[in-house]
Structure 1
Amino acid sequence: MAKAKKRKDTKRNSFIKGISTNKNITEEHIGVYESIDYPLFSFKYLQEHSIRDCKDHKFFFDFLIRLRKLSELGWNQIRTSARHSFGMEKIPRESIIPQIPNFITPDVEELHVFRSNGNNTALVGLQIDKIFHVLFIETKHGDIYKHQ
């Protein structure tokens, strides 16, 4: 009986590809990446400054829904949207309140900002190609950068 259930789960999840042990990237892999026109969010470099003390579960739920909406819009719509809506703006690195991580080199003069929720708190990071590297998530207005 357990085997039947396992087989059923395998069929249901057949669209998930296994991790390739081959270190070569094929044209198929490149084609998939190039066809993506929405933000890919990376949290590898996320700093804990504002989120560490946040106990508001609704904030994090709303934040995830916001990321989903940004992914649905795609880069073209993000670029034409207002900055306090679903758009993105650039801010000078000097506006960042916590220390910027050392791996962000001095030649990077501006960081990129999305609104993390509908309440104008910020999601600060660096867009490189299709990937938005999240550095800070502002849970309280003004925790991460000096708003104007």
Structure 2
Amino acid sequence: MPERVDPIIFVDADACPVKDEALKVAERLGVVLTFVSNGGIRPSRDPMVRVVVVPAGADAADDWIVEQAQANDIILTADIPLASRAIDKGCHVLGFTGKPFTPASIGMALAMRDLKQHLRETGEIKGYNPGFRPADRSAFLSALDTLVRKAKLAAGK
């Protein structure tokens, strides 16, 4: 596959609470947006929005994203192993709450994920994630806007 110049936003779209916000930023800044899921997302008539449905499977969407993404692309996900794989490819990675995953932070994120999984398995903690708040949505919008501008600048756009 030939190298692209323009960054693309890839969204790990299964259970993504910020699809509309990602669409808004992509439209405003003229970036291709690709939603990747196991199904349940309507196709878009917008040529800048792609919807990719992958076969059912634990990591099918993650694998597709990592396979297609190139350095300087933007990956939106809450999946820490996917974030790690995308960082290894030189991608920018942003969580749905607006928190970036970076080469400096991904090791601790993976370690905390593993620790929490162990504590849930042993019954030490419950498996509840914090609720998604309006402040998270606002932080995501701001962080994505900044990240897309940074990626476009890095691409010479």
TM-score (norm 1): 0.27
Structure with the largest fraction of helix: 2
